[in-house]
Structure 1
Amino acid sequence: MKKLLKAIQSGKTRTITVDIFDTVLLRKIYPEELQFLRHAERASALLKKQWNRDISPFCFYSFRQYVRQVLANMQYSRTKEREVSIRDIFAQTLESIAQKESVRLEQKARDALVDLLMQEELEIEKKSLKPNHKLISVLRAFRGKGLHVFFVSDMYLETEHIQKLLKHFGIDDAFDGGISSASAGCCKWSGGLFAALLKKNLIPGFSYENNLHIGDNRHADVRAARALKMKAIHYRSFHTLVRRPVSHMIGTLKRKMLLRPHTTSMQREMAQFLEKHTAVLGAEEQCLFKVGFTLAPAIAHYLSYVDIWSRVSRRPVYFISSEAATLHHLSKMLNSGSTMHTLPALDRLKALHQFLHLGLEETQEYDPVPVLWFLNLGIRQISFSSILERIGIKPEDLPFPKAIYEELPRSTQLESIGKLIKYKPLLVKHLQEAHNYVLHSLQRSSFLSARKVIIADIGWSGTIQGLLEGSMELLHQDIDIQGIYLGRRIFNTIPWMPPKKAHGTLFQGESEKLGAELLVEEIWEYAICESRENKHLTILRGMEYFFELYGSHMKSAPDFVLGTLLQPLRKLFSRPSLLEAELIGSIKHHADVGSSFSQSIVQSPFTRKELLRAFFFDPPLFHSQRINQFWREGFLTKYRLRHLRPFFGLHGQIASVIEQSRRKKWQRFV
């Protein structure tokens, strides 16, 4: 308080902005999730009366949290801010629950329910807040001296809601107005709200140069303000230093105790359902069925995510590649109301061939080499044979033996291919056919007539999306494409054509914990692809069984279900059983677009005994065998080598030293 008085007495301050929650209005309940649970009890009773459905308080609470996360990520993708309005959260929470419960919800009825939910929210806020009269009296005194006092709050409540709370407590006379981050669409934490105050007239009478900001959060209220050259004071009191931390610790434990019964009961019920359903199956069929059931919560979470994004942004969804039909089918099992299309014709090879055709057509009369060079740069240490495979040219079509070309510099190789294409265009007739096929699919599905679309695919690098965006530019089609994937990889197959807008639901990069654990692409893609193999169909049945249970027995949001059943999913990837490693390890890895190379994701020419011998007597051999597996944990399980795992760090270093020593000896010999 002394710092505040001293700053005002300097005479340079003309306006004061002050944080509201935990500064002017002090909370009694921590964390905020406990307050959401109280609100959910009232919302549950309201929906039961309106819809005649048994919507539990926990169901409403979990969907509220889930929708808030999705909307925040949507906002961040557009503005790099995560602030969303409480009205939007309630509206989409109602939409999601109504869809899950097969309740028809018209917009007028939804908006009326949102108003009722807002009233309940404000009533709970009034009971869980108390005014900080000491600070309020100081603010009133400053107003009496001619200073303007405004509130600037990071909060999901809108400006009008905060004004109602201030009026309820009889302290609205201490303020000349203010702004909420939910109304502004940006928050203090990121500095966006302070920047908006500088650039926009959000608060009439506000003076940025002569303003002093007061708040309880060291980062959002002090550092963010000072970063933009605004004076700021860190407001601390007994409430923020003692009462709040203690209450937060106790409240967090209480919240865990309230949620634990929902977690344990769901885990127990799902295990019982699965055990009962698979009791009559053979060992291998039972194993594959459980694999599908284990993967399904992540797929349900992903598809629900796509559905909300589509509903809010009003973009049609296009499921692409070989997974399109299965994803569309599973979305229907979730009662998705989004406009959905399938584009199985749009796989990586056809997308590449379409872009190649359009690029060559664009530069044909000049020089096709830039297009080839552009794509080659994206594929790094690609061999000459792989370049031919990607373009679709056979070695026998070359005027000279392939071995001669392989000895040439890369630039000369590309120039030779460019001249060949230029003078023998029939060699790339298949590129024209691929373009026509994809274009026909895009026209038939109304893709080309849409201004904004969502591309939905398992993942991972957005290669198809990047190529499609490049093709749309060459076709002079202005289509805003948002890619939503199960997970995202930072690495791009073609770095010069990364997708413009891409989002992963489980993880945003392979360096994240879930990304490092679950990023075995082949397992996910095989489970979802359109195939008639018995192995795939058994996995798909397991996924369908989970989706049926989710619709009938699981009264919670899909992210809570995923979090509850995440341990079996992690175990499948990081500690599989021997049977899982053998059955799933036989799935084929196919090399990138256009390449004919493929091998099982767990494969070694050596026996377990030979691998153990190599571990002790030939570390480089063992290290290369392990590191070149597409599913390393499956490899360790299949060959029963998990007990060696603690030594891999040191063993890898030893292998590297021995390998370098061998190279030096070979160089001296040569």
Structure 2
Amino acid sequence: MKKLLKAIQSGKTRTITVDIFDTVLLRKIYPEELQFLRHAERASALLKKQWNRDISPFCFYSFRQYVRQVLANMQYSRTKEREVSIRDIFAQTLESIAQKESVRLEQKARDALVDLLMQEELEIEKKSLKPNHKLISVLRAFRGKGLHVFFVSDMYLETEHIQKLLKHFGIDDAFDGGISSASAGCCKWSGGLFAALLKKNLIPGFSYENNLHIGDNRHADVRAARALKMKAIHYRSFHTLVRRPVSHMIGTLKRKMLLRPHTTSMQREMAQFLEKHTAVLGAEEQCLFKVGFTLAPAIAHYLSYVDIWSRVSRRPVYFISSEAATLHHLSKMLNSGSTMHTLPALDRLKALHQFLHLGLEETQEYDPVPVLWFLNLGIRQISFSSILERIGIKPEDLPFPKAIYEELPRSTQLESIGKLIKYKPLLVKHLQEAHNYVLHSLQRSSFLSARKVIIADIGWSGTIQGLLEGSMELLHQDIDIQGIYLGRRIFNTIPWMPPKKAHGTLFQGESEKLGAELLVEEIWEYAICESRENKHLTILRGMEYFFELYGSHMKSAPDFVLGTLLQPLRKLFSRPSLLEAELIGSIKHHADVASSFSQSIVQSPFTRKELLRAFFFDPPLFHSQRINQFWREGFLTKYRLRHLRPFFGLHGQIASVIEQSRRKKWQRFV
């Protein structure tokens, strides 16, 4: 308080901005999730009366939290801010629950319910807050001396809601107005709200140069303000220093105790359902069925995520590639009401061929640089034969023997191919055919007439999206494409042409913990690809069984279900059983658009005995065998080498030293 008085007495301050929650209005409940659970009890009673459905408080609470996360991520993708209005959260929470419960919800009825939920929210806020009279009296005194006092709050409540709370406590006379981050669409934490105060006239009478900001959060209220050259004071009191931390610790423990029964009961019920359903199956069929059931929560979370994004942004969804039909089918099992289309014709190779054809048509010749990038992917320098194979040119079509071309620099090779195609366009007739095939699919699905669309695919680096965006530019089609994937990789298959808007639901990069554990692309893609193999169909039946149970028995949001059943999913990827490693390890890895290379994701020419011998007597050989597996944990399980994991760090260093020594000896010999 002394700092505040001293800053005001300097005479340079004309306006004061103050944080509201935990500064002017002190909370009694921590963390905020406990307050949400109280609100959910009232919301449950309200929905039971309105819809005649048994919507549990926990169901409403979990969907509220889930929707808030999705909307925040949507906002961040557009503005790099995560602030979302409470009305939008309630509206989409109602939409999601109504969809799951097969309740027809008209917009007028939804808006009326949102108003009722808002009233309940404000009533709970009134009971959960108390005014900080000591600070309020100081603010009133400053206002009496001619200073303007405004509130600036990071809160999901809108400005009018905060004003109602101030009026309820009889302290609205201490303020000349203010702004909420939910109304502004940006928050103090990122500095966006302070920047908006500088650039926009959000608060009439506000003076940025002569303003003093007061708040309880060291980062959001002090550092963010000072970063933009605004004076700021960190407000601390007994409440913020003692009462809040203690209350938060106790409240967090209480919340865990309240949620724990839902977690344990769901885990127990799902285990019982699965055990009962698979009791009559053979060992291999039972294993594959459980694999599908284990993967399904992540797929359900992903498809629900896509559905909310589509509903809010009013974009049609296009499922692409070989997974399109399965994803569309599973979305229907979730009662998705979004406009959905399938584009199975749009796979990596056809997307590449379409783009190459349009590029040829545009320039009438090959530009060596893009061809080099497109056809030299994944491997540092693929062979000249592989490039010919991907373009579709046979060695006998070349004017000179292939051996001569192989001696030339890569740029010269590509220029030669370009000239050959220019004068013999029939050599790349298949590029024209691929373009026509994809274009027909895009026209039939109304893709070309849409202005904004969502591309939905398992992932991972957005290769197809990047190629499609390039093709649309060459076709002079202005279509805003938002890619939503199960997970995202930081690595881009086409470095100079990454997708413009891409978002992963489970993780945003392989460096994240979940990404490092679950990013075995072949397992996910095989599980939902369009295939008639018995192995695939059994996995799909397991996924369908989970989706049936989710619709009929699980009264919670998909992200809570995923979190509850995440441990078996992690175990499948990081500690698979021997049977899982053998059955799933035989899935084939197919190289991207650069090569026809293919092999099982767990494969070695050596026996377990030979690998153990190599571990001790030929570390570089063992290290290369392990590193070059597409599913390393499956490799360790299949060959029963998991007990060696603690030594891999040191063993890799030893292998590197031996390998370098061998190279030096070879160089001296040569």
Q: Indicate conservation of the 8 Å contact 2:489/2:508, yes or no.
A: yes
Does residue 614 of structure 1 match 2:620? Answer: no
Q: Indicate conservation of the 8 Å contact 1:359/1:371, yes or no.
A: no
Cα distance in 1 between the residues matched to 2:378 and 2:199: 41
Summarize deviations over 1:264-287 as a string: whole Å, max 9, x none. 000000000000000000000000
User: Greater shift after overlay, 591-600 or 173-182?
Assistant: 591-600
Cα distance in 1 between the residues matched to 2:453 and 2:161: 34
Cα distance in 2 between the residues matched to 1:365 and 1:598: 31
Q: Indicate conservation of the 8 Å contact 1:213/1:230, yes or no.
A: yes
Deviation of residue 397 (structure 1)? 1.9
Does residue 656 of structure 1 match 2:656? Answer: yes
Give the SS at the match of 1:163.
helix
Cα distance in 1 between the residues matched to 2:373 and 2:585: 36
Pairs within 5 Å for 1:59-78: 59-78=59-78
Give the SS at the match of 1:377.
coil
Q: Indicate conservation of the 8 Å contact 2:365/2:419, yes or no.
A: no
Q: Indicate conservation of the 8 Å contact 1:31/1:248, yes or no.
A: yes
Distance 1:362 1:378, change over 3 A: farther
Deviation of residue 412 (structure 1)? 1.1
Distance 1:378 1:572, change over 3 A: closer
Deviation of residue 390 (structure 1)? 2.2
TM-score, with normalisation over the residues of structure 1?
Answer: 0.99
Summarize deviations over 1:467-506 as a string: whole Å, max 9, x none. 0000000000000000000000000110111000000000
Summarize deviations over 1:225-271 as a string: whole Å, max 9, x none. 00000000000000000000000000000000000000000000000
Summarize deviations over 1:128-175 as a string: whole Å, max 9, x none. 000000000000000000000000000000000000000000000000
Q: Indicate conservation of the 8 Å contact 1:66/1:559, yes or no.
A: yes
Pairs within 5 Å for 1:301-450: 301-364=301-364, 371=371, 376=376, 380-450=380-450
Deviation of residue 525 (structure 1)? 0.1
* Uncovered stretches (5+) of structure 1, i.e. residues with no partner: none
Deviation of residue 372 (structure 1)? 5.0
Cα distance in 1 between the residues matched to 2:366 and 2:572: 53
Deviation of residue 398 (structure 1)? 1.9
Distance 1:258 1:628, change over 3 A: same
Q: Indicate conservation of the 8 Å contact 2:37/2:61, yes or no.
A: yes
Summarize deviations over 1:321-365 as a string: whole Å, max 9, x none. 000000000000000000000000000000000000000111116
Summarize deviations over 1:292-342 as a string: whole Å, max 9, x none. 000000000000000000000000000000000000000000000000000
Summarize deviations over 1:599-652 as a string: whole Å, max 9, x none. 000000000000000000000000000000000000000000000000000000
The percentage of aligned residue pairs carrying the same residue is 100
Distance 1:561 1:136, change over 3 A: same
Q: Indicate conservation of the 8 Å contact 2:371/2:414, yes or no.
A: no
Cα distance in 2 between the residues matched to 1:254 and 1:176: 39
Summarize deviations over 1:61-92 as a string: whole Å, max 9, x none. 00000000000000000000000000000000
Q: Indicate conservation of the 8 Å contact 1:389/1:594, yes or no.
A: no
Deviation of residue 385 (structure 1)? 2.2
Q: Indicate conservation of the 8 Å contact 1:360/1:368, yes or no.
A: no
Distance 1:49 1:595, change over 3 A: same
Deviation of residue 368 (structure 1)? 6.8
- Runs of 4+ with >4 A deviation: 365-380
Pairs within 5 Å for 1:449-488: 449-488=449-488
Q: Indicate conservation of the 8 Å contact 1:83/1:156, yes or no.
A: yes
Distance 1:370 1:62, change over 3 A: closer
Cα distance in 1 between the residues matched to 2:252 and 2:390: 55
Q: Indicate conservation of the 8 Å contact 2:292/2:539, yes or no.
A: yes
Q: Indicate conservation of the 8 Å contact 1:391/1:594, yes or no.
A: no
Cα distance in 2 between the residues matched to 1:590 and 1:373: 19
Deviation of residue 404 (structure 1)? 2.3
Distance 1:638 1:243, change over 3 A: same
User: Greater shift after overlay, 209-218 or 406-415?
Assistant: 406-415
Deviation of residue 383 (structure 1)? 2.6
Deviation of residue 378 (structure 1)? 8.3
What's the counterpart of residue 493 of structure 1?
Answer: 493
Cα distance in 1 between the residues matched to 2:406 and 2:484: 39
TM-score, with normalisation over the residues of structure 2?
Answer: 0.99
Cα distance in 2 between the residues matched to 1:55 and 1:373: 54
Give the SS at the match of 2:341.
strand
Deviation of residue 419 (structure 1)? 1.2
Cα distance in 2 between the residues matched to 1:129 and 1:393: 74
Deviation of residue 415 (structure 1)? 1.2
Give the SS at the match of 2:460.
coil
Summarize deviations over 1:415-467 as a string: whole Å, max 9, x none. 11111111111111100000000000000000000000000000000000000
Cα distance in 2 between the residues matched to 1:64 and 1:501: 26
Give the SS at the match of 1:328.
helix
Deviation of residue 373 (structure 1)? 5.9
Q: Indicate conservation of the 8 Å contact 1:378/1:495, yes or no.
A: no
Distance 1:551 1:650, change over 3 A: same
Residue correspondences, number:
670
Cα distance in 1 between the residues matched to 2:173 and 2:363: 69
Q: Indicate conservation of the 8 Å contact 2:63/2:97, yes or no.
A: yes
Distance 1:373 1:332, change over 3 A: closer
Deviation of residue 408 (structure 1)? 1.3
Cα distance in 1 between the residues matched to 2:566 and 2:101: 24
Cα distance in 1 between the residues matched to 2:552 and 2:474: 47
Cα distance in 1 between the residues matched to 2:64 and 2:419: 60
Q: Indicate conservation of the 8 Å contact 1:357/1:431, yes or no.
A: yes
Cα distance in 2 between the residues matched to 1:516 and 1:3: 48
Give the SS at the match of 2:83.
coil
Q: Indicate conservation of the 8 Å contact 1:348/1:463, yes or no.
A: yes
Deviation of residue 377 (structure 1)? 7.6
Q: Indicate conservation of the 8 Å contact 1:369/1:418, yes or no.
A: no
Cα distance in 2 between the residues matched to 1:367 and 1:52: 65
User: Greater shift after overlay, 384-393 or 311-320?
Assistant: 384-393
Distance 1:251 1:389, change over 3 A: same
Give the SS at the match of 2:385.
helix
Q: Indicate conservation of the 8 Å contact 2:378/2:592, yes or no.
A: no
Distance 1:590 1:42, change over 3 A: same
Cα distance in 1 between the residues matched to 2:604 and 2:380: 26
Deviation of residue 380 (structure 1)? 4.3
Give the SS at the match of 1:378.
coil
Deviation of residue 376 (structure 1)? 4.4
Q: Indicate conservation of the 8 Å contact 2:374/2:594, yes or no.
A: no
Q: Indicate conservation of the 8 Å contact 1:349/1:594, yes or no.
A: no
Deviation of residue 379 (structure 1)? 6.5
Deviation of residue 290 (structure 1)? 0.1
Distance 1:366 1:561, change over 3 A: closer
Cα distance in 2 between the residues matched to 1:249 and 1:383: 61
Summarize deviations over 1:31-57 as a string: whole Å, max 9, x none. 000000000000000000000000000
Cα distance in 2 between the residues matched to 1:232 and 1:8: 12
Cα distance in 2 between the residues matched to 1:406 and 1:620: 30
Does residue 130 of structure 1 match 2:98? Answer: no
